[in-house]
Structure formats: C-alpha cells, structure tokens
Chain A
Amino acid sequence: MWKYVIKRLLLIIPILLGVTILIFFVMELSPGDPASTILGAGATQEAIDMLNKELGYDRPMLTRLGSYIANVFLKGDFGNSYRSRLPVIDSIVVSIPISLRVAFFAITFAAVVGIPIGVLSAVKQYSLLDTIPTVTSLFLSALPGFWLGMMLLYLFALKLGILPSYGVETWKGFILPTISLGLPYAAQEMRFTRSSMLETIRSDYVRTARAKGAAERRVIWRHALKNALLPVITVTGTIFAAMLGGAVVTESLYSIPGLGSLLVTSIKIKDTPTVMGCTFVLAAMCSLVLLVVDLLYAVVDPRIKAKYSK
C-alpha cells in the first residue's frame, strides 16, 4: 500500500513537469510580448525591444523553457514577474492562503448544506422533501455563477447594506463569496449524496434489513449510511480541488486577491512567469488533493486497496 503512495507522490513530479511544458507552449502560442505589456502603448519601440532583451525574451523558445525548468526543479526559483519584477513566488504565496480560506469555507458550506439535505431527500424519496430540494438543486447547478454572485452582492451589500461588497479582510467579507461559490456545489453535493443514498437503499442488504426488524435495521442503516457517504467524501475532495483555481469569477466579482484572479490577470497581461508559477502551484495542490481522495477511496473500499497493493 505504501509503495503505491510513494509511487503516486513521485508521479506528481512528471505531472508538474508536463503541466509546465503544456502551459508554456500555450502561452507561447498567443501573440504579444512582455515588454509591450509592461511599458504600455506609449513606450518607444526601441525601449520595448530593449526590455524584451533584458527579460531574456529574445532567446529561442526551447532555451527559455529549458532554463525555466532547470531553475524551478533544481533551484526552486520561479523567476520574476514581468509586471512587477518581483519574485513570482512572493505574490503566489500571498494569494494561496486567501484562496484556500475561501475554498475551505465554501466547501464546508457546500457539504454542510448539501449532504444532509441529500440524505433526507433520498430517505423521503418521492415526497415533497425530495422534490423541492431536487428541483432547487437542479436549478442552482444550472445558474451561471456570476449571475448568482451579482444578485447576492446587489441584495446584501447594496439593498440591505449588511455585508461588505469587496475584500476578505473581515470575517463578514467571507460570507458572500462563500455562499456564491458554495451554493452551486452544495447543489452538486446534494444530488450526489441523494443518488448515492438511493443506490445504497435499493441494494440488497438494506432490503433484507427491512425484512428483519427494527433493531437490526438500525444497525444496518448506520452501515448503509456510512457506505453511501464514503463516495460522497471523495467527491467532496474533488470539488475542493476544483474550487481552488476555479473560483475565478467569484474572486473577480468580490475583488478577492486569490490565486485564481492572479492567474487570470497574468494570462491577460501575458505575464508568463506568473502564469507558469500559478499553474504549477495550482496543479501541485490539485494533484495532492486528488491523491488524498484516491487514498480515501482505497482506505474505505478494500477491493480498490487490494488493486493498488498489487
């Protein structure tokens, strides 16, 4: 089993390498050069050419890629941002805790709201307690995220004035982004929990339990609940990974200086070192979370564990 864990951890390295190369080529495909971005449209062409040279932009593409990879993997040096000329790692390190906090609150919200309702609606299938949450959650998953965010902002920050409209400096500032980011995922959690519960309820041993009588029923019920919730936990982990970088629209709407908005801004201004640094960190975080999710799968399902131990 541990061999598998080590193997997976080591495998993350080539994945990160792959992501780096992939994003590098993607960034290279797009037009534009760093100096034009930094200096703006008013600067002289000579100055732009000079700055490009200073930044090492005039070297051939593969050389730049090679030296970047060497710096990152051998020295842990992600280079300097084209825009601020400061080390990329500094701006990333500042933004990570913010994104993590927002994602953590959002996933907690999503789980705390979605899972119990999912269980309830599965148990009370076909009743109102099932139909209403199901319809609501379908509706919520179908909403564009920015629309929901704008509505919340408009209602709570403007009309009611009880919550701040930007920033996450005070705890109040986290409320709207948490709901805005978490609600659609809460809907997903709810639906997944419900379907997982339904599958369990319909399974053979539960039906047998019904036949057997109250006391035994309770014991098996708890067992069933546990079995139903385990896949839900792993899905929650996957969603958490998605939230880390995927909260882009939320971050932009609420002016939250997290990793997602740093990445998008950098893509737009072609600040390639920052883009690559952010993607690297994001990919690393997501890979780690997914590894934990897979391990959880293995821990709870002995069949899978056996497979990994082969």
Chain B
Amino acid sequence: MEKQKKQSQFKEVWRRLKKSKPAMFGLIVLSLLILTALFAEQIIPYKKALEMNAAIRLKPPSLEHIFGTDAYGRDLFARVLHGGRRSLLIGFGATAGALFFGWIIASIVSYYGTRVDNLLMRLMDIIAAVPMTLMALAVVSALGPTLQNLIIAIAFARIPTFARIIRSSMLSVVDAEYIEAAHAGGAGALRIILKHITPNVSGTMIVQTTMATAQLILIAASLSFLGLGVQLPTPEWGALLSEAREFMRTTPLLMVFPGIFMVLTSLSLNLLGDGLRDALDPKLKS
C-alpha cells in the first residue's frame, strides 16, 4: 500500500516537473553532461589530454582538434571532457559527503531535542563561521592537494549549511508530539528518522543537493584557480580556466570552452533544482 502511494507520488512529481520547460532543459543537459563524463574515455582517450606537442600549441579549432589546442599542444576537447569527469566527481562527491553528514547531524538534532541541538549546532556554527571557500582552502592546503582531499575539504566546509537547512526543514515538520506518537506506534529512533521524518524533508534535501553541487563545483574551480586543486597534469575545469587565464587576451577560446561547460553544468543543476522545488511544493496546485 505504501509502495503504491510512493509510486504515485513520484509520478505526480515527475508530471509536474515535465511541465516546466527550463527544468526539463536542465535535466536533459545535465544527463548529457553526466553521460559524456562517464563515457569520456570512449569518446576520446585520456592520453590525448596529456599528449604534448609544442609544434601545434595554441591552435584554433580544426577537424583534428575540435576545440583547438592548449598552451602545451594538448587537445582541448579531450581536456575539457576528462576535466568534466573530475569536476563532476568532485562536485557530486563533495555534495554527497556533505549531504550525508549534514543529514545525520540534522536527524540527531531534531530527534533528540534542545540540549543536543545546542551542542551540535554550535559545532556547526564554528565551522560555518569561516567562509566556505576559505575553510576549504585551509583544509586542502593542510591535507595536501589531491583529488580525495579536495572532496573532503569542500564537503567539510559545506556540512554546516546542509545541517542547518535540513534541520530547519525537519523542525517545521516534526515536533515532540509527532515523535511521541511514532514512539507509541512502537518505532525506534532510527526507524522514526528514516521512515517518518526523512521522507517529509526529502524534497528539501533533493533541491538542496542540486544547488549545492553547482556551488561546490564552482568552489572547486576557485581552489584550482588559487593553485590548490588537483595535481597537474590532471585536467579539471577550474585548473583549465586557471591555465587559460594568462592567454585570455591572445587565445580566449582556452577560457571559453571550459567556461561554457562549467556554466552549462551549473545552469542545468540550478534549473533542475528550481523545477524540483516547484514540483515538490505541496502548496502548488496543478
């Protein structure tokens, strides 16, 4: 019975989402980007992104190199595609991490009430007191600039925001009586959290996930820009933009292509997020 309810709920949301053209645009573009990231190796091999050739550096787009070549003569298309793999990995990875830990903290806090709330949320405040980019910057410069550390650092900086938002969402849905009633039904803490509380805030969580991914991809790019991103010569959109910066006036396409992909990713995530928010909003009538 519950499963059926869930399925029709899902269908309803999907129907509403379909009606929004921008959201569908976002969904399609995002799916395409994810597909190209997953199949990047098949589209163009990774070694093309590393192969240097001084003779053909900074060349404009041609049949052989459809985006042109970078300052080392490497194929820009390959670098953008494989860079996308890493950027998306960092974005989704960091978001997943921040979401997971933020959800745990929010759940604990909204279930167990004020005392725990104060303690944990103050802890969150401490981390949040430092602006995100700088927090991630400090952590990654301490751990060392590798892909994993980058994900950890950025996720860490984002946990407080997730915790705060999910918590406030949970609190508006749940109160002491609600929990008591569930208890009376014979449920344990984890069960209540998973089956009763979380589904009610899943809408917020989903929307926040898409927004956060866009934001974290940009933060990762900023860190690469400041020199603390992935290790060279690994491509990543922020690193590509950083490399392209000094040639902005002579070979602007170097900045344009990675920039376009970044903007498209961010845009599609935001559009999708907006659409999801509208589709999941219970107050909206069709």
Binding site for B on A (CB under 8 A): 11, 14-16, 18-19, 22-23, 26-30, 134-135, 138-139, 141-147, 150, 154, 191, 195, 199, 202-203, 241-242, 244-246, 248-249, 252, 260, 263-264, 267-268, 275, 279, 282-283, 286-287, 290
Contacts and interface: CB of A to CB of B under 8 A. Distances in A.
Given A141-B270, A144-B262, A264 B137 contact: yes
B141 A282 contact: no
A249 B225 contact: yes
Interface in B247-273: 248-249, 255, 259, 262-267, 270-271
Interface string B221-238: 110011000000000001
Interface residues of B, number: 45
B259 A144 contact: yes
| Central interface residue in B127, B128, B221, B241, by most chain A CB within 10 Å | B128
A146 B267 contact: no
A144 B218 contact: yes
Interface stretch (B42-50, B96-104, B118-126): B118-126
A202 B282 CA distance: 12
B131 A142 contact: no
19 contacts: A15-B129, A26-B142, A28-B142, A138-B270, A141-B270, A142-B218, A142-B262, A142-B264, A144-B259, A144-B262, A147-B259, A195-B277, A202-B283, A202-B284, A241-B131, A242-B132, A267-B141, A279-B130, A286-B131
A18 B133 CA distance: 19
Nearest to B114: A310
* Closest 7 pairs (CB-CB, A-B): A142-B266, A283-B129, A18-B126, A29-B142, A245-B131, A30-B142, A246-B131
A287 B131 CA distance: 11
A147 B241 contact: yes
B138 interface: yes
Contacts of A139: 263, 267
Contacts of A242: 131-132
A248 B267 contact: no
Contacts of A141: 214, 266, 270
Interface of B: 22, 122-123, 125-134, 137-139, 141-144, 214, 218, 221-222, 225-226, 238, 241, 245, 248-249, 255, 259, 262-267, 270-271, 274, 277, 283-284
A15 B126 CA distance: 5
B138 A286 contact: no
Given A141-B266, A245-B134, A248-B137, 13 more contacts: A14-B122, A19-B126, A22-B130, A26-B138, A141-B270, A142-B265, A144-B218, A248-B133, A248-B222, A260-B134, A267-B138, A268-B141, A286-B131
A279 B127 CA distance: 11
Contacts of B22: 134-135
Contacts of B238: 144
Contacts of B134: 245-246, 248, 260, 263-264, 279, 282
Nearest to B132: A246
A146 B270 contact: no
Contacts of B249: 154
A210 to B, nearest CB: 15
B263 to A, nearest CB: 5
The residue among B138, B222, B262, B263 with the most chain A CB atoms within 10 A of its own CB is B138
Contacts of B125: 11, 15, 287, 290
A263 B274 CA distance: 35
B225 to A, nearest CB: 6
B222 A144 contact: yes
A142 B142 contact: no
A11 B124 CA distance: 13
Contacts of B129: 15-16, 19, 282-283, 286-287
Nearest to B143: A29
Nearest to A150: B248
A24 B277 CA distance: 40
B114 to A, nearest CB: 9
A282 B131 contact: yes
Given A141-B266, A150-B248, A154-B249, A15 B142 contact: no
A282 B134 CA distance: 11
A142 B130 contact: no
B124 to A, nearest CB: 10
A269 to B, nearest CB: 11
Contacts of A195: 277
A147 B133 contact: no
Nearest to B242: A146
Nearest to A307: B171
Contacts of B241: 144, 146-147
A28 B266 CA distance: 35
A241 B134 CA distance: 13
B226 A264 contact: yes
A274 B155 CA distance: 25
A11 B131 contact: no
Contacts of B277: 195
Contacts of A28: 142
Nearest to B248: A150
Contacts of A27: 138, 142
A217 B133 CA distance: 45
A107 to B, nearest CB: 14
A145 to B, nearest CB: 7
